[in-house]
Structure 1
């Protein structure tokens, strides 16, 4: 029995370590602001999702009238969020067929209904952190067919849907790697910049003497318009919160119900414990 328990614990630790290593291998995720109870933020996120994401991505597990749970009336949904002749009770699907999407983009854009749950790391960060970081790390890249690239998902097939909100950005890549020259190995640190127009320029390439580390790569994105960045970060946080809500609309009810169930079980345990003591007090 003890061996089984230890084996299970070791398996959990190994899974957690694997997840940590996988996370370290890519661009680190930022923590998305918690706006799941902010109705105004969720409404703004719904507006952004319908206006910018639903050109290519559907949310087929949700109906438009589900948005009433965010405090919107059906009239507001019809007047402000329905532009394709659909009814308020229809599913949030798009007109583009999967066949055409694959022909035009090389791959069918995924349905985003459960994306916030699908991107959650096992025993790690929630998927909303992935979405939040992904949307904030787009940059111009002239070498890509779409003219865009992404730090979280390198060589992503989609362009930045919110590029007008984001404003110009620059990216600095710092790459530490080993180079063999004249039969000897040297560690180099190469710095490359991608400007706001998407053109790459190597800034420096220096030798690291007595370097004892390992190969690594680091990227830093810089917004050139700080005022625009603040608004963009807010919009992305609202959109992320909506996608988190969309993936599980009843999550707050589930959490509240869970707390009441635990409280009930605690009271029941106390009652049963006292009943057990009273029942067995005369038994030696």
Structure 2
């Protein structure tokens, strides 16, 4: 009896997370238009430093790596280095982790590899971030006055609201083929911001592109090297095959 009880417990323990995911509401993620264009990455870096780096650090990213997206050392010092003195320092914040937890309820996560860590079955990490940054809406029941369509009861306020404006949330009921009713939140335009919807989408895409690049700055070089390696191995295979045919031509 104890063995059977133990098997049931282990089965429940292993499959509980899967059941929880399966029973949750379906999350729709918008496709992020990720770009590797230096101008887009530079604009994303500017947005990141001005709006994100106040609370979120990027402690595995050094300022001098921004030279890889076309910025000079002087441009980085004059426009982006507000939390460090030396160009080789990491992009850290001055706020202490325990103080941040006290103020926000949880310490804001480091964003160096956020685009990679947010990847899921329903979309890439870039898709999640792109949808998240465009999905804030006013919610007076929340301490910050904000909520998010894909991150319910989020503790983070909408730091880009001056650019996007204030959206309103509308509860929409859905009924599946089995007659089960679910509720989702849809956002509607509210108070306009400094940018039009198209301009804000472009700015968000640039910020997400930078976050993706920051998670692996050498991704472009790695892919280029990989292409050359595959091409070299293909050529080596052809030469090896021709050499083998030449050695064995008299036997066959």
- The normalised TM-score by structure 1 is 0.75
1:50-199 superposed matches below 5 A: 50-84=49-83, 86-121=85-120, 125-176=123-174
Give the paired residue count. 231
- Map of 1:29 onto structure 2: 29
Distance 1:267 1:217, change over 3 A: farther
Distance 1:269 1:85, change over 3 A: closer
Q: Distance in 1 between matches of 2:169 and 2:215?
A: 31
Give 1:254 deviation, angstroms.
1.1
- Map of 1:237 onto structure 2: 205
1:111-130 superposed Cα distances (whole Å, 9 cap, x missing partner)? 000101111126x6321111
Work out whether 1:253 is the aligned partner of 2:251: no
Distance 1:130 1:81, change over 3 A: same
Aligned 8 A contact 2:35 2:206 in 1:
yes
Q: Distance in 1 between matches of 2:116 and 2:223?
A: 16
Work out whether 1:262 is the aligned partner of 2:218: no
Aligned 8 A contact 1:58 1:110 in 2:
yes
Give 1:34 deviation, angstroms.
2.5
Q: Give 5+ residue unaligned stretches, structure 1.
A: 1-17, 178-186, 188-210
Note the aligned Cα RMSD (angstroms). Answer: 2.3
Partner of 1:168, secondary structure, is strand
Give 1:212 deviation, angstroms.
4.6
Give 1:22 deviation, angstroms.
5.9
Distance 1:248 1:92, change over 3 A: same
Aligned 8 A contact 2:84 2:91 in 1:
no
Give 1:65 deviation, angstroms.
1.2
Give 1:48 deviation, angstroms.
0.6
- The normalised TM-score by structure 2 is 0.84
Distance 1:233 1:88, change over 3 A: same
More strand by share: 1
Partner of 1:218, secondary structure, is strand
Aligned 8 A contact 1:27 1:219 in 2:
no
Give 1:66 deviation, angstroms.
1.0
